[in-house]
Amino acid sequence: MQKRKLGNSTLEVSALGLGCMGMSFSYGPPPGKQAMIAVIRSAVENGVTFFDTAEVYGPYANEELVGEALAPVRNQVVIATKFGFHINPGGTPPWTGLNSRPEHIKQAVEGSLKRLRTDVIDLYYQHRVDPEVPIEDVAGAVKDLIREGKVKHFGLSEAGAQTIRRAHAVQPVAALQSEYSLWFRRPEEEIIPTLEELGIGLVPYSPLGKGFLTGKIDENTKLDATDFRSTLPRFTPEARKANLALVGLLGQIAQRKNATPAQIALAWLLAQKPWIAPIPGTTKLARLEENLGATAVELTSEDLREIASAASQIPIEGGRYPEHIEKMTGR
């Protein structure tokens, strides 16, 4: 597995990481814990060194799962987790709002350290920008945690360019985690140029469009009531039917490259910048192996031009989130 540096930081990770959220949260009834530990450990055996979780996933259960799975190889891997929600265990949703007050961050880190069975968090993200707390105060709190040796690197998630600049001036930001894929390209407008200027890495979540770009989902696919995609405008049957045009494009390229649509989608992301490290999630060993195969797919500059040209002609139907969640995106 190739390694990548996240921007100008000293943080080196596998080119593809593993997003662990779906192993205990959001995508319908989660599989058994031991099966998920097996997937995580198989990822390690296949060269993955970058694992993503958050305290709100579960809540708490996902950090516990990741901590148990990675305990035997802790010194070989990079663990990223997130703070910033007021957790509401047992509630739906499992949070009651944002909370990035410095005292809350310093309390949250202790729980994450314990659940992850570690004495230091490699990459600590603010999960969503909290409009009630100046980002300078958030960056200052994480700076204190870095000074205390509890955190190694500071990250932001779904933050806007202005917020990134303000945070970076207080404590260098190693990475921004944001949704980015062939069916959500808004980061190209302002975010990616800002990250390039400041020397910050990009960690795309949902690089396969929450599973849609694999080609295994169409307008007739039944989503479980507990699968959060059933609440997303982009996953209505009508939107799915319209958006299959993009999957068709990926399928054409995949056939030519002896690859799968998912591998083309991931290879496209990897080809955008050398400091981009996507974190596709899965609960299946076969899908894990398929995703990791993307690192062997070579897209020429001609392939990339063809994909860009064809994709630009395909309008994507439906918003990516309901309005109340979309509002959590920073400025």
Q: How much of the chain, in percent, has pLDDT values that exceed 70?
A: 100
Residue 314 pLDDT more than 80?
Answer: yes
pLDDT score, position 252: 96
Catalytic residue among 57, 60, 124, 125: 57
Strand partners, 153: 123
pTM: 0.97
pLDDT score, position 255: 97
- Catalytic site residue 180? no
Query: Which amino acid is located at 28 in the chain?
Result: G
pLDDT score, position 26: 86
pLDDT score, position 304: 97
pLDDT score, position 198: 98
Tens digit of each residue's pLDDT (9 = 90 or more) over 217-270: 999 999 998 899 999 999 999 999 999 999 999 999 999 999 999 999 999 999
d(CA 269, CA 140): 32
The structure tokens 């990822």 sit at 43
Tens digit of each residue's pLDDT (9 = 90 or more) over 115-144: 999 999 999 999 999 999 999 999 999 999
Query: Which amino acid is located at 150 in the chain?
Result: K
Does CATH place domain 3-326 in 3.20.20.100? yes
323: confidence class by pLDDT, cuts 50, 70, 90: confident
CB 278 within 8 A of CB 16: yes
pLDDT score, position 271: 98
pLDDT score, position 251: 97
Residue 329 pLDDT more than 80?
Answer: no
326: confidence class by pLDDT, cuts 50, 70, 90: confident
Tens digit of each residue's pLDDT (9 = 90 or more) over 260-298: 999 999 999 999 999 999 999 999 999 999 999 999 999
Mean pLDDT of the residues in the chain: 96
CB 164 within 8 A of CB 198: yes
pLDDT score, position 30: 83
Count the Cβ atoms, other than its own, within 10 Å of residue 168. Answer: 21
CB 135 within 8 A of CB 166: yes
Which tokens belong to 101? 């007050």
Residue 67 pLDDT more than 80?
Answer: yes
- Long-range CB pairs of 58-62 (<8 Å, 24+ gap) are 58/24, 58/25, 58/94, 59/85, 59/87, 59/88, 59/89, 59/94, 59/95, 60/87, 60/89, 60/111, 60/115, 61/24, 61/25, 62/20, 62/21, 62/23, 62/24, 62/25
Tens digit of each residue's pLDDT (9 = 90 or more) over 171-207: 999 999 999 999 999 999 999 999 999 999 999 999 9
